[in-house]
Structure 1
């Protein structure tokens, strides 16, 4: 049997033994042992409640509270049986009845009643109320917590496993406070039962002693009543400890340490409070009638402790300096010699992806000043991995004093592909920036974001009219119905667009190898077939890059590699391989472009498509359309016009043509509208409702 194989049977066996104790008389030696176990268990529970950093770390407490209460009542029944039958219930109860209360029935009753009042009226009522309010607030907060988890998951801040863990914690927290709300009634009922059992034992002891055993009243009181009071104290002391533990558990706020450490650390920050308190206590020793020595001793101890405590600000500063020195020391240890080839190569190495910011935008990357740009960039890498199926390289973020103020630059392999502004103390407001016009053409006061003060600009991703507005006008912009974006979001969104547009250039040969090894680990058969097809790593990389160029995610790598392993045995040319993969991924590609299973499409007139098919010619980079330049221009412009008309109606249309014409037509259309998807009829999923929003007819071309 393993070390913990006995754990599942301990609690059920203990519960059965508790039930047996209620009906089977116990010898006094065993009863003494069980009373000691009861006291020890209560001590362990209250110590454990002080050591946890959050209530869920002791989630078994409500069930344990029920078992301990049942155990304590079973002991009361066993001790009552022995007292009534033998006038003796072991040395533990005898010691509490004679030594602890000095053999005085009145003193014993008073102490017992005080313990019950403290437990019942103070601790149990307070703990029950806190548990009730905690349960109510936890249940009310559950929807908001679930929405926050979903938002973090959608933003890429956490993965699916982290979201699942946080949802389980939220549900467990609600269950715990709900259970504690009911378990607090056990403690209250236990206190009431102790009073009732003690009264019954007192009356029953007198009746048995006088009527059955022929004792006089004084002897019966001396024999039975002291033992009854001792029994009540023995059971009430652990009950008080358990009640205190329940109060500590439900009032415990989640912190990083245990209760003792938190008390010491947080009191150590109250240096001035301890000084004032020590001085006040010391001055109380001068009041007439009060003993001078105790108050002077306590006040002097507080003043001494306050003097020894470090200044809070100085302690924080020292901790920050120590942490900074530790990080600098670690950096120096790992830093190569400045004159070594490694250091020189590191300086001249071109980063795959780089974000440069001007000196006045450093607050965006400084966590101490509330900057969260670095965290958002990290979340962006996870989001891109989930959406496109590639892991983009680390984004090197650094300051560049050569950039103009409030400017950032996005570089890919050293080449600047994006630049924008993020003025300090401003937010980007996106909306209508045009002044209103009257019926006669006269300019009226602006009714859009032009009414707000700020610098007109253009949103860097979609080219929408926008304005950098001072932060204090944010609420006013929201009232106008405009979209308000903070500076970090502007930079992150711009970076995301650059990454998505150039994803194929970020897919390196080593990244392709990593993806290939992942597929081999998940589907070994597919990996073996791909190796047998004799496609090189470069061939696979080229196919994946072509898919990314057309904004096709490569997340379904197993099926993509299945197609490549099958088609790779017949051809090594990129275009046929890409079209085969697209045909397999067709329902997913078209489904991602549809809205509510509705797909607006722009189709070609049959004669136009026939002429395009006749104009297809092979080339080094794939097939192209050998059309007359004027005809090509007319075809591209007509498609662009229809796509714009559809967009004005609120539709995001796609071009659909035959599979043979798709590659060449896509190359032509991408020169005019790079974002416009071009699909083949084979890629339209059967679940979609296709709606034609335009038919392209360029007439009879002069030369085909």
Structure 2
């Protein structure tokens, strides 16, 4: 049979054998063997407890402690049966009764009582308290540790496999300390059982010896008392060792070395303390009446040890050299990492943490799904979202930061859902506004969700609300998330599949910075940059005639025109607003170059009237449920977009050239002509 198969069967067979020992008589020779195995096993457990580097490296200890306690109690019962029936329980117990305790009942009882005091009052109580506190602190720290893992995962610092491994370690740690809290009760109960069993053996032995075997009182005392106390000592020595093991396990810190190495390193590093202790021992030699030899030997040994330890200057130089070689760069890297600004953050108030780490928490899963959606939609890989909590945020509040700047904030009360629609006046709740589109709604208790849906309202849970808000913020500010590194990475990826396209454009014609500027301009107008092949091909042609940013942007838009018009169309139809021809001519004459690109330098009154007319018409069309676009001549498209984006940022501005290149039907829904009286 293979070793693995034997190890699987060893524990079940052992537990069954222990149960059999409770009811089946056992010969004295076999009892001696099992007692020796019990003591040796306890020594082995103590040594393993000292040599493990982490408590979790001995995670089977609570279960092993239970089995060992049951085994020891079974040996007690078997020994009691032999003592009361035959007056002999094997050579081991007899040796403990006559040699270890000197054949004296009083000495045996005193030693037995001292062992019980050490185990029950000192070691067991201390280990139990440490295990209880460790279990409590471990469970309390679990949400924070889980959230830290999720934050590292979203930040891209670890992969999914590492995150699962760390979550499993946290769960194992919590289970271990919880089991240790219960295992210490076994040790305490074992100490109490030892006292009771010993006194039962004494009383029962006297009664059986004097009534059944017709022994005198002195003979009964000589035979049964020493055997009973010897049995108690035999059982209490391994019990004491297991109690020490329990204390060693629960008091271990998270050091990477075994206990002996840690103690030697920490004590050996204190040369001055060792020297002072040796001097104090030597000074005790001059105290009248004290024996001088023991203190002289101990003090001299400590002074000799102190002389062999490294001097503080040597140790400091070693530490300094190590810090120069390794620690200093790490410290610098750590400082730089703390100074780094996270490109995208989702900050939650303390009461919103259960959305990330709680029963049914799905916010982080939705964030990961949002990254895939936006990558397919905009062509930009959204950076990992760092999710953290903040005590400075008001109750039930979340905030969205880009490059450490807060751009949006919203509310998500616990136990509530947001109902959007009319006819909600009869339901109790708190009026609110949907943060993305500004729609009127009401926060309702989650129990009223069904009633709100019956009234025709759209009901949004808290996670969906936050994700929708986050996605809209990312769409509006996608250009701020596209850095030079991201452009370089996209260019390298494109070069693997289309090397000629990339080599023809950069660095011969355009630098990465100039390409990044074009991509930013496209994203600012909501244009997807997913088709980098078409964009780079168009830039390669346009850049040969100059590197004017507006010209490059228009060239890229021309290559993407079919995709732009298709994304703005509704059911294959584009609702277009046009500008009155005379007004277009006036704007064409008012185009002037500027530092930020071409601008419309119109009369202030005319510019204000134009903006108001466009905003009013856009609001009217949006109220009807249409999604209008503004169409104008290609020469004024970019300047006109710059003029209207501050008042009507959601209005797309297209050129006639882009419309003609598209494949959608155009529905002219109106003309901006309210300012024609201002045109000269």
> TM-score normalised to the size of structure 2?
0.58
SS at match of 2:4: coil
1:297-446 to 2 correspondences below 5 Å: 297-312=297-312, 314-321=314-321, 368=331, 372-374=335-337
Matched pairs, number: 487
Whole-Å separation in 2 of the counterparts to 1:539 and 1:698: 48
1:201 is aligned to 201
Structure 2 vs 1, CA of residues 243 and 504 (structure 1 numbering), >3 Å: closer, same or farther? closer
Aligned 8 A contact 1:21 1:75 in 2:
yes
The alpha carbon displacement at 1:73 in A equals 0.8
Whole-Å separation in 2 of the counterparts to 1:87 and 1:575: 104
The alpha carbon displacement at 1:126 in A equals 1.2
2:61 is aligned to 61
> TM-score normalised to the size of structure 1?
0.57
1:220-369 to 2 correspondences below 5 Å: 220-312=220-312, 314-321=314-321, 368=331
The alpha carbon displacement at 1:379 in A equals 7.8
Structure 2 vs 1, CA of residues 659 and 40 (structure 1 numbering), >3 Å: closer, same or farther? farther
1:42 is aligned to 42
Of residues 667-676 and 108-117 in structure 1, the stretch that sits farther from structure 2 once superposed is 667-676
The alpha carbon displacement at 1:305 in A equals 1.3
Q: Does 1:105 align with 2:87?
A: no
2:489 to 497, 507, 523: 507
Structure 2 vs 1, CA of residues 319 and 103 (structure 1 numbering), >3 Å: closer, same or farther? same
Whole-Å separation in 1 of the counterparts to 2:7 and 2:637: 67
Q: Does 1:23 align with 2:5?
A: no
Unaligned runs of 5+ in 2: 347-367, 384-401, 408-477, 507-514, 535-554, 592-597, 617-625, 655-669
1:73 is aligned to 73
Structure 2 vs 1, CA of residues 460 and 257 (structure 1 numbering), >3 Å: closer, same or farther? closer
Whole-Å separation in 2 of the counterparts to 1:189 and 1:123: 13
Aligned 8 A contact 2:479 2:520 in 1:
no
The alpha carbon displacement at 1:39 in A equals 1.4
Aligned 8 A contact 1:605 1:696 in 2:
no
SS at match of 1:607: strand
Aligned 8 A contact 2:491 2:502 in 1:
yes
Whole-Å separation in 1 of the counterparts to 2:136 and 2:208: 50
The alpha carbon displacement at 1:321 in A equals 2.3
Whole-Å separation in 2 of the counterparts to 1:629 and 1:202: 117
The alpha carbon displacement at 1:312 in A equals 4.0
1:295-694 to 2 correspondences below 5 Å: 295-312=295-312, 314-321=314-321, 368=331, 372-374=335-337, 500-502=482-484, 505-507=487-489, 509-512=491-494, 550-551=522-523, 606-608=576-578, 628=588, 630=590
Unaligned runs of 5+ in 1: 328-364, 393-458, 465-495, 517-533, 565-572, 588-603, 616-624, 647-654, 682-694
The alpha carbon displacement at 1:96 in A equals 1.8
Aligned 8 A contact 2:96 2:233 in 1:
yes
Aligned 8 A contact 1:50 1:248 in 2:
yes
Whole-Å separation in 2 of the counterparts to 1:293 and 1:368: 51
Structure 2 vs 1, CA of residues 48 and 104 (structure 1 numbering), >3 Å: closer, same or farther? same
Whole-Å separation in 1 of the counterparts to 2:254 and 2:192: 32
Whole-Å separation in 2 of the counterparts to 1:670 and 1:507: 30
Whole-Å separation in 2 of the counterparts to 1:662 and 1:129: 81
Whole-Å separation in 2 of the counterparts to 1:698 and 1:463: 39
Q: Deviations over 1:557-577 (max 9, x none)?
A: 9xx79x99xxxxxxxx98799
The alpha carbon displacement at 1:195 in A equals 0.7
Whole-Å separation in 2 of the counterparts to 1:540 and 1:13: 75
Whole-Å separation in 2 of the counterparts to 1:14 and 1:629: 98
Aligned 8 A contact 2:342 2:404 in 1:
no
Whole-Å separation in 2 of the counterparts to 1:93 and 1:580: 96
1:596 is aligned to none
Q: Deviations over 1:381-421 (max 9, x none)?
A: 999x97977699xxxxxxxxxxxxxxxxxxxxxxxxxxxxx
Structure 2 vs 1, CA of residues 547 and 32 (structure 1 numbering), >3 Å: closer, same or farther? farther
Structure 2 vs 1, CA of residues 548 and 259 (structure 1 numbering), >3 Å: closer, same or farther? farther
Whole-Å separation in 2 of the counterparts to 1:109 and 1:698: 111
